[in-house]
Structure 1
Amino acid sequence: MSLDERIQHAEAAAKAAQKRVKRLELEKRKRLLLALGRYVIKETKAASVAEFQENFVIVARSQEAIHAGKDAKSQQKLAA
């Protein structure tokens, strides 16, 4: 196998790997969105995600608020 053939083979393998990574990331995103939809329906007792979107307001929390909430939960566990 010549050097050029090896380079072409390596480039083709790298391109295929990049496509696979992209496909896996899309599949992961789809699975996460489906899981989130199931969780929302379960926790809010909504009949569907569409009903949830119509009846509930989603408020974004800052990263600081998220970490503060985690820290408070950790402190409560330690105190118990």
Structure 2
Amino acid sequence: MQNDGYEYPMVLVVSAALALTGPGRWSLDQALGATPWPLWVVLPAIVVGPVSGLLTRVVLHRPPAATERKQYAQAAE
């Protein structure tokens, strides 16, 4: 996204399209005869992803040290 890059937004669009439409008839899932995940597996997976990200953020977050706060304050002036 920096310097007018298009790759990351394109990955997001393609991922969303695949997530919303499913794998399709030319996919490896179709070739192997794999069935879709049952809803009771999908819903917890959708919840676990964001929750684990937020938990990681909470665990690894540390407030800036006093010297860092002074640097931020001086830079803002």
Larger Rg: 1
TM-score exceeds 0.5: no
TM-score interval (norm. to shorter) = 0.3 to 0.5
TM-score by length of 1: 0.34
TM-score of the two chains, using structure 2 as the length reference: 0.35
Structure with the bigger percentage of helix? 1
